[in-house]
Amino acid sequence: MKNDWLKIYLVSIFGYALIAFSVNAQTIVIKNATIYDGLNNSPFVGNILIDQNKIKKISTSNFQADLVIDASDKIVTPGFIATDTQIGIVEIGALSVTRDDSSNMYKIGFSIFNGFNPNSTLIPWNRSNGITSAITLPNNTSSPIGGLGSFFVLDSKLDVTGTSDMVMIGEFGGSSSKSRAEQFSMIEDLLVLASSLSKSDINSDLELSSLIDEWAISNAMDLHPRDLRALYKLVNENLPLIIKSHRASDLLKLIELKEKFNLNIVIMGAQEASLVTAKLAEHNIPLIFDPMNNIPESFDELASNIQMASKLEEAGIQMMFTVSRSHNYHLIRQGAGVAVANGLSYGAAIRSLTSTPAKVFGIEDRGAIESGKIADLIIWEADPLEPSSMPEYVFINGENIDLTTRSSRLRDRYTKKLDKPVIYRD
Amino acid sequence: MTNQLKITLCCTFLFFSSINVLQCKPFESTYQPLPAEKILITNASIYDGDGNEFKNTDVLVQDGKIIAIGEDLPVPEDFRIIDATGKWVTPGIIDIHSHMGVYPAPGVRTSSDGNEATSPVTADVWAEHSMWVQDPQYALALTGGVTAFHVLPGSANLIGGRGVTVKNLQRTTINSMKFPDAPHSLKMACGENPKRVYGNRGQAPSTRMGNAAGYRKSWIQAEGYLRKITEYEKKSEEAKELEYAPRRDLEMETLAGVLKGEILVHNHCYRADEMATMIDIAKEFNYKITAFHHGVEAYKIADLLADNGICGALWADWWGFKHEAYDMVQANIAIVDQARNGKGCAIVHSDDAIGIQHLNQEASKSLAAGRRAGFDISEARAMKWITSNPAKAAGIYDQTGSLQVGKNADIVVWSKNPFSVYALAEKVFIDGAMAYNRGTDLLPASDFDIGIISPTKNRTQE
């Protein structure tokens, strides 16, 4: 076979390439799929050719492949990208020994990347429900901006695939014990400091330590060189800043900051965004929010409304969805369905789960069904926005993923082979 | 006799008599329905809440009650006709586990009144004395088809106090929201919460065995109290005149109410082994557990629950926030439902002001998971999980929870099959009166909702 020949040829040249190659050395065709490509195209029926880890071709003509999956009458979407999770750094919420999401030491430069657990049970569970990659964020720190999140591919490999420290988080509004006016000044002071840093500064711990002493804000906040490096990255490398904020007037203040410091701001929560849609659209600010959350949970969130997603679509604002708990982050599908029931277009709902997060966070090789993209794909039993429907197949990096989860094992243990004692069942 | 009249008579009588013969019960329901309409809902697809599905069926409503259900009912004069062609009709949705009112929105400390976490046994407190009637969350639940809900104290305590069932029709006082003739409930809690709250203070309970001892000690006390009361009541009138009546004890009144079968036990409990222990404690003291709430591990003892006639009031898929909520199985609700060849009692509960608005979707997820686990369950049966089963567990099934002639006309008209995420509750009737009509201005607004963002508008208005 051609592939075998290729394998041998490559092995003879590169030797060490054999292992990686033979694991993935197959081509897969998903035939007759109804394709929602995650981009602006209307759904269409076609065949998808996966070669190695990539989508090689999409066409109505037939392809030869090692494995052919008939997806007639099935919807195929890109794998969904989660944007606001604690996947891999919190196993059980109320058990601090299973949490790696916070730091007392670092305020702005705290990175969760080295704490990530690819064997977390949250990964197979979310994956079997359609989430193929995730941005994992630390808990908010005592600083109004700070804490670095990373991107992870949810393939459960101990050799982690991802991008470290690709986003910073922050919070602005009434949930802090500080006046929001004080928070605003602190953010401004930190950004002024950040703007003053040079490339040579950040290469020297000693230099940074003396700068920390010199600047009132870093001195008062007891910052560390790592914190200053993160600030430098924020203002010089266009790092997305996901800042949690709700009140309409606060959202306008964040727009002011964005313009003054040329920040790449993404607003999270944004329960009052529908009061300031025109401004948010004008300044091209993407939002992450829970489309099911219409509760005025605080005095910052009085305008929360179940129709928010459709209003944002009308205004042309990029949106992504979140849920309150990472254990079931896949429920962003249900949220997207609720948004559609309340006026959002179906296409916009799918984009919000796929290409929008890819674009906003620079994950450009994923999030769409397009030739050349990495093959993170889902074949759905039925409509993916119906929470009752589940994936039939999940592909991550072109690999057909086993959908067994700890939860499905527990289910089978108590519903099958009941003649055996529980402890000897599968 | 209307409730209003009953109260007036009762209190007048008390005022003129010094004796205790007719005891006026405080805190009785003074609920008055909205003015009832005469309505004919025509040509609907129906899940009746008792496990049946009907097509092309009409529902006739008068004086707040369902007076006929059938195909091609004759159209009486002066009835408002609601054409439900292509739409679905169900009973009003009922949530057996809500903290609306005791944990209202906004979630601020000044009105967080759900946990009297000052002592592990507070059987004397009543959730209805905490409930804020202006909670803006009630109206949001109404837009999800919820017509009644059961409010419980929180789970910090072993015995947290009395719960209350209310109509989802916001009123200025709590008595006027209370569901007429609904029994009180007693909230009990197992596991991590009580042992954490009190263990952290260096007091009992700090372990699960401490929890078990705590319940048992309380029931022993309650048995003694009940014995004393019963002995006194058995005495002749002459004998009673010679001694004082036993002094009232609010905690013991509640617990004795459980032992007499008048107050229904709703028990927060996650782990299978703990639920089994709680069943033994109930047997030891001869009381009944109506439902285990949350029961993430209920599927492990589904037969035991069915054999003891205990409902599982459960989430579709919540897990992982605590160790005792780690073993989640999405088919949990279906497995409990199907135990002993379908003798199980499953309820989908929310415990959440967002979830309560989408209980139909939660039921849909549970149904799909059940089918995937190999159970043959109809949608009509799954509808029981959010209607008749919670009505039974709240003790109001004789009045509501299914579409039956003679029952309260608590009805939802859905835009589509309610097992779809795209279905919206279009019209919601409580006691035969339209309480919500989607797309019109018929949407209740609490006092909190008005003039708070802009003086001239309501919070939920465009």
* A87, A98, A294, best to mutate vs chain B, most B CBs in 10 Å: A294
pLDDT confidence band for B42 (50 / 70 / 90): very high
How many CA atoms are closer than 13 Å to the CA of B420, on its beta-carbon side? 14
Calculate Rg over the CA atoms of chain A: 23
E strands in A246-289: 264-269, 287-289
What is the C-alpha separation between A399 and A66, in angstroms, rounded? 13
Q: Which residues in B292-320 are b (16+ Cβ under 10 Å) and which e?
A: bbbbbbbbbbbebbbeeebbbbbbbbbbb
How close does chain A come to B423, measured CA to CA in Å? 7
Is the alpha carbon torsion for A308, A313, A316, A321 positive or negative? Answer: positive
Question: CA of B458: which chain A residue's CA is closest?
Answer: A303
SS3 B10: helix
Cβ–Cβ gap B354/A295 under 8 Å: yes
Predicted confidence (pLDDT) at residue A43 exceeds the cutoff of 80:
yes
In a domain, A24, yes or no: no
What is the C-alpha separation between B355 and B141, in angstroms, rounded? 9
A147, A141 Cβ separation under 8 angstroms: yes
B374 contacts in chain A (CB < 8 Å): 415
* Mean pLDDT calculated for residue range A301-328: 97
What count of residues does chain B have? 462
A275 to A141, A249, A308, B180, B461: CA distances (angstroms): 29, 9, 10, 41, 12
Cβ–Cβ gap B317/A328 under 8 Å: yes
Pick the closest to residue A262 from A194, A315, A204, A312 (CA basis): A194
* A121, A272, A302, best to mutate vs chain B, most B CBs in 10 Å: A302
A325 part of contact set with chain B, CB < 8 Å = yes
Helix (H) or strand (E) holding A136: strand A131-136
Cβ–Cβ gap A415/B373 under 8 Å: yes
Pick the closest to residue B122 from B161, B153, B154 (CA basis): B161
Q: Which of A91, A301, A387 sits opposite B365 (nearest CB)?
A: A387
Torsion of CA B103, B105, B106, B110, to 10 degrees: -30
In a domain, A396, yes or no: no
Question: CA of B354: which chain A residue's CA is closest?
Answer: A293
3-state SS, B248-269, equals: CCHHHHHHHHHHCCCCEEEEEE
pLDDT confidence band for A175 (50 / 70 / 90): confident
Cβ–Cβ gap B373/A299 under 8 Å: no
Q: Which of B105, B367, B420 sits opposite A295 (nearest CB)?
A: B105
The predicted pLDDT at position B24 comes to 59
A345 part of contact set with chain B, CB < 8 Å = no
Q: In whole numbers, what is the pLDDT of chain A averaged over residues? A: 94
What count of residues does chain A have? 426
pLDDT, tens only, B245-288:
999 999 999 999 999 999 999 999 999 999 999 999 999 999 99
Predicted confidence (pLDDT) at residue A5 exceeds the cutoff of 60:
no
pLDDT, tens only, A207-233:
999 999 999 999 999 999 999 999 999
How close does chain B come to A293, measured CA to CA in Å? 6
H helices present in A100-140, as ranges = 122-128
pLDDT, tens only, A377-399:
999 999 999 999 999 999 999 99
Give the rounded percent of residues in chain B with a pLDDT score beyond 90. 94
A35 part of contact set with chain B, CB < 8 Å = no
* Mean pLDDT calculated for residue range A311-323: 98
What is the C-alpha separation between B417 and B378, in angstroms, rounded? 13
What's the distance, CA A293 to chain centroid? 19
Domain limits at A225?
A: 80-368
Question: CA of B459: which chain A residue's CA is closest?
Answer: A303
Cβ–Cβ gap B322/A94 under 8 Å: yes
Least reliable range by pLDDT among A172-176, A261-265, B249-253: A172-176
B111, B185 Cβ separation under 8 angstroms: no
In a domain, A88, yes or no: yes
pLDDT, tens only, B177-188:
999 999 999 999
What is the C-alpha separation between A151 and B177, in angstroms, rounded? 49
Q: Which residue has the tokens 């040829």?
A: A9
Predicted confidence (pLDDT) at residue B426 exceeds the cutoff of 60:
yes
A399-400 vs A287-289, strand pairing mode: unpaired
Residue type for position A270: A
The predicted pLDDT at position A15 comes to 37
pLDDT confidence band for B16 (50 / 70 / 90): very low
Q: Which residue has the tokens 């639940």?
A: B141
What is the C-alpha separation between B345 and B312, in angstroms, rounded? 6
Beta pairing partners, A152? A134, A162
* Mean pLDDT calculated for residue range A9-21: 39
A39 part of contact set with chain B, CB < 8 Å = no
Predicted confidence (pLDDT) at residue B147 exceeds the cutoff of 70:
yes
CB–CB contacts below 8 A, A to B: 120
* Mean pLDDT calculated for residue range A403-414: 98
Q: Which of B192, B300, B424 sits opposite A341 (nearest CB)?
A: B424
Class of CATH domain B93-401: alpha beta
* Mean pLDDT calculated for residue range A360-382: 97
A293 contacts in chain B (CB < 8 Å): 354
Other CB atoms within a 10 A radius of the CB of residue A423 amount to 6
Q: Which of A297, A325, A415 sits opposite B106 (nearest CB)?
A: A297
Cβ–Cβ gap B137/A387 under 8 Å: no
Q: What is the DSSP letter of A234?
A: H
Predicted confidence (pLDDT) at residue B10 exceeds the cutoff of 50:
no
The predicted pLDDT at position B11 comes to 43
B194, B273 Cβ separation under 8 angstroms: no
Q: In whole numbers, what is the pLDDT of chain B averaged over residues? A: 94
Question: CA of B303: which chain A residue's CA is closest?
Answer: A414
How close does chain A come to B184, measured CA to CA in Å? 28
Q: Which of A295, A305, A387 sits opposite B361 (nearest CB)?
A: A387
Question: CA of A249: which chain B residue's CA is closest?
Answer: B453
Question: CA of A248: which chain B residue's CA is closest?
Answer: B453
Calculate Rg over the CA atoms of chain B: 23
Domain boundaries, chain B: 93-401
Is the alpha carbon torsion for B104, B110, B113, B114 positive or negative? Answer: positive
A295 contacts in chain B (CB < 8 Å): 105, 137, 140, 353-354
Residue type for position A31: K
The predicted pLDDT at position A11 comes to 38
How close does chain A come to B349, measured CA to CA in Å? 17
Question: How many domains would you assign to chain A?
Answer: 1
What φ, ψ does residue A174 adopt, rounded to 5°?
-75, -10
Interface predicted TM-score (ipTM): 0.94
* Mean pLDDT calculated for residue range B304-316: 98
How close does chain A come to B433, measured CA to CA in Å? 25
Pick the closest to residue A146 from A89, A200, A218 (CA basis): A218
The predicted pLDDT at position B462 comes to 61
Query: Helix crossing, B208-234 with B272-284: angle to 10°?
Result: 20
Q: Which of B137, B335, B365 sits opposite A295 (nearest CB)?
A: B137
Cβ–Cβ gap A298/B108 under 8 Å: yes
B361 contacts in chain A (CB < 8 Å): 334, 337-338, 387
E strands in A247-396: 264-269, 287-289, 319-321, 377-380, 391-396
What is the C-alpha separation between A289 and A313, in angstroms, rounded? 13
How close does chain A come to B35, measured CA to CA in Å? 29
The predicted pLDDT at position A9 comes to 39
Q: Which residue has the tokens 């119906």?
A: A386
Q: What is the pTM of this model?
A: 0.94
Cβ–Cβ gap B323/A94 under 8 Å: yes
Predicted confidence (pLDDT) at residue A354 exceeds the cutoff of 50:
yes
Give the rounded percent of residues in chain A with a pLDDT score beyond 90. 92
The predicted pLDDT at position A141 comes to 78
Cβ–Cβ gap B323/A327 under 8 Å: no
B106 contacts in chain A (CB < 8 Å): 296-299, 301
Instruction: State the CATH number of the domain containing residue A155.
Output: 3.20.20.140
Predicted confidence (pLDDT) at residue A20 exceeds the cutoff of 50:
no
Pick the closest to residue A145 from A263, A236, A249, A237 (CA basis): A263
pLDDT confidence band for B70 (50 / 70 / 90): very high
In a domain, A338, yes or no: yes
* Mean pLDDT calculated for residue range A74-98: 98
Torsion of CA B58, B59, B61, B65, to 10 degrees: 160
Q: Which of B107, B143, B364 sits opposite A297 (nearest CB)?
A: B107
How close does chain B come to A328, measured CA to CA in Å? 7
B185, B147 Cβ separation under 8 angstroms: no
A330, A129 Cβ separation under 8 angstroms: yes
